[in-house]
Amino acid sequence: MKYGYLGRSGLKVSRMVLGTFNFGWSTPKEQAFEIMDKALEEGITIFDTADSYGVWAGKGYSGLTEEIIGEWFALGGGRRESVVLATKVYEKTDFPYEGLNAERGLSAYKIKRHIEGSLRRLRTDHVELYQMHHYEYHAPWEELFGAFEDLISAGKVVYLGSSNFGARHLVRAQAVAERRGFLGFVSEQHRYSLACRLPELELLPACEELGVGAILWSPLASGLLGGHALDGKGGARSAEAGGGLDDAGRAQVLAYHDLCASIGHTPANVALAWTLANPAVTGPIIGPRTPDQVTQSAKAVDIELDGEVLAKLDEIFPGPGGPAPQAYSW
């Protein structure tokens, strides 16, 4: 495994991030334990989750994923000490309170309630990275940063991250943080892949300039880049991605597979390695369903794509043309 810093912070993390979205939904607890053990064995140190992950049939979001991770931590053996733990707040979860303030969104009230729920489920006294799951359009930054600063002062949170922000949101937030003498965000979790390159216009350049590490969700484009989009063997999400391909899309994926075969690497690992070549990126999130998939994905950090291969990937999956405004102006 290779390591780097989480944005401009001094925290060192693995270049691969373990995603836990499937835990408690399509991945049972026992298998989730095996996946997390394998991740540590492969040197993956940052685990990403959210207080809304883990779905009980018919009950909505329950925080079940955090509970599974907490039970794994309780097994001991240095598990908790070895993990940079990242969770999120914004969505509704099954808490013992109802009403308007339990719905989607953020407030100082909700932030302080939800961190207590997360810590209880995760069986820990702090999280290293607490992420806003979405941008909050109503509450002022003075309210939100005040609540997050209190959590940091209390030792319940170490760093603050964002997720699904636009570049303008990130810049505005960091300007407020600077005025407050607050570090602000050290990471932004965002959708980015060969098949979804719009963040190259604004978001990724903003992350690089601000020193905010980009953590990438769906780096395989819901399975489209995972190697099984054309045969439907990659699971529900990849089958859905592949099932909607038109002739042009199939030709694009076939060209991609041919390129990957010519350089001797799997489509999934080429897609992961491509994201790691971007200087704004801390690491992509992988969502393995088996321990062996953890091992296979971890190999991507050792793949270095040369200029010729990167150029061919640009031909197959054209980007927006670079950062704005140069991409569309002069």
pLDDT tens-digit profile, the chain (330 residues): 999 999 999 999 999 999 999 998 889 999 999 999 999 999 999 999 999 998 654 455 578 999 999 999 999 999 999 999 999 999 887 655 567 777 889 999 999 999 999 999 999 999 999 999 999 999 999 999 999 999 999 999 999 999 999 999 999 999 999 999 999 999 999 999 999 999 999 999 999 999 999 999 999 999 999 988 887 554 434 444 445 678 899 999 999 999 999 999 999 999 999 999 999 999 999 999 999 999 999 999 999 999 999 999 999 999 999 999 999 988
Q: State the catalytic residue, choosing from 3, 5, 53, 97.
A: 53
Spatial contact of 69 and 23, defined as CB atoms under 8 Å apart? yes
Domains of the chain: 3-223+269-304 (3.20.20.100)
Residue 80: CB partners within 8 Å, gap ≥ 6? Answer: 73, 124
* HSE-up (13 A, CA, CB side) for residue 205: 12
Structure tokens at 24: 């408690």
- What is the pLDDT, as a whole number, of residue 238? 45
Q: What is the DSSP string of 195-206?
A: TB-GGGTTHHHH
Is 53 tagged catalytic? yes
Q: Shortest CA distance to 261 belongs to which of 307, 312, 298, 297?
A: 312
- What is the pLDDT, as a whole number, of residue 233? 55
Distance CA 267, CA 283 (A): 17
- What is the pLDDT, as a whole number, of residue 59? 53
- What is the pLDDT, as a whole number, of residue 100? 78
- What is the pLDDT, as a whole number, of residue 242? 46
Strand segments, DSSP code E, in the chain are 3-5, 12-14, 17-19, 46-48, 55-56, 60-61, 84-89, 127-132, 157-163, 185-191, 213-217, 281-286
- What is the pLDDT, as a whole number, of residue 251? 94
- What is the pLDDT, as a whole number, of residue 330? 80
Q: Could you tell me the pTM of the whole model?
A: 0.93
Radius of gyration of the chain from its Cα atoms, rounded to whole angstroms: 20
Structure tokens at 27: 């991945």
- What is the pLDDT, as a whole number, of residue 75? 98
Question: Does the bond joining 325 to the residue before it have cis omega, within 30 degrees of 0?
Answer: yes
Looking only at the bridges linking them, the beta strands covering 127-132 and 281-286 are: unpaired
Distance CA 32, CA 221 (A): 22
Q: Cβ–Cβ contacts within 10 Å for residue 255, how many? A: 15
